Amino acid sequence: MKVTHPESLIFWSIIVFIILFVLLRKYAWKPILGAVKSREASINKALDTAEEARKELQNLQADNEKLLKEARAERDAMIKEAREIKDKMITDAKGQAQVEADKMIQQARQSIDSEKQAALADLKNQVASLSVEIAEKVIKRELSSNDRQLKLVDDMLDEVTLN
């Protein structure tokens, strides 16, 4: 194959190629590549943001979970404490009541005792005065005559045996 007039195609190829290159570079390739690049950047950014949001959500969820767990534990602890307090209060109340009751019983017993003592003492006094009155009357009657006074002395002297 014979190449004819090479200068025409060389000349025009260079001219047309340069014009085409300059025009396309300015009006096509740069805007297209720029747009593609910026879109890629924005997609990447969006993905990153989404990923971050997802992570944050996860963290939030974890936090919530933790908070819930804590709240539950706290509630459990509170219930337990309340129960303990209740039990303690009951026990305490029971103990106190017992003590009080014991004390009351004790007091009652003491007062009964003292009443009893008082009653006994009263009884003794009355018995003693009665005895003395009786003795007085008996003695008065015994010692109303000389005979009887002498007899008594005799009896008593009899009793007092010399040993």
Partner 1 sequence: MASFATTAQEHEDTHNEEAAEEAFDPTELIDHHTKDSHEFHIVGSVSMPLPVILWTDNGLVTFMSSAFHHDEEGKVVVERNGMKFVRVHDEIYYTNADGGVTYDEEHHPTNERPLNFSITKNVFTLMLTSILMLVIFIPVARSYKRNERAPKGLAAFMEPLVVFVRDDIAKPNIGEKKYEKFMPYLLTVFFLIWIGNLFGLIPFFPFQGTLTNDIIFTGVLATITFLITIFNGNKHYWGHIFATPGVPKWLLPIMIPVEVLGMFTKPFALMIRLFANITAGHIIILSLVSLIFIFKSVAVAPISIAFSLFMYVLELLVAALQAYVFTLLSALFIGQAVEAHH
Q: Which of residues 31-60 bind partner 1 (CB under 8 A)?
A: 31-36, 39
Contact 142, 152 (CB under 8 A): yes
Structure-token pair, residue 160:
């007092």
Closer to partner 1 at the Cβ: 10 or 82? 10
Q: What is the CA radius of gyration of the chain?
A: 65
> Under the criterion CB under 8 A, does residue 154 sit at the interface with partner 1?
no
Contact 152, 143 (CB under 8 A): yes
Closer to partner 1 at the Cβ: 4 or 163? 4
Q: Which of residues 6-25 bind partner 1 (CB under 8 A)?
A: 6-14, 16-17, 19-21, 23-25
Q: Name the DSSP letter for residue 161.
A: -
Q: Name the DSSP letter for residue 27.
A: I
CB of 19 to partner 1, least distance (A): 7
Helix, strand or coil, per DSSP, at residue 162: coil
Residues in contact with partner 1 by the rule CB under 8 A: 1-14, 16-17, 19-21, 23-25, 27-36, 39
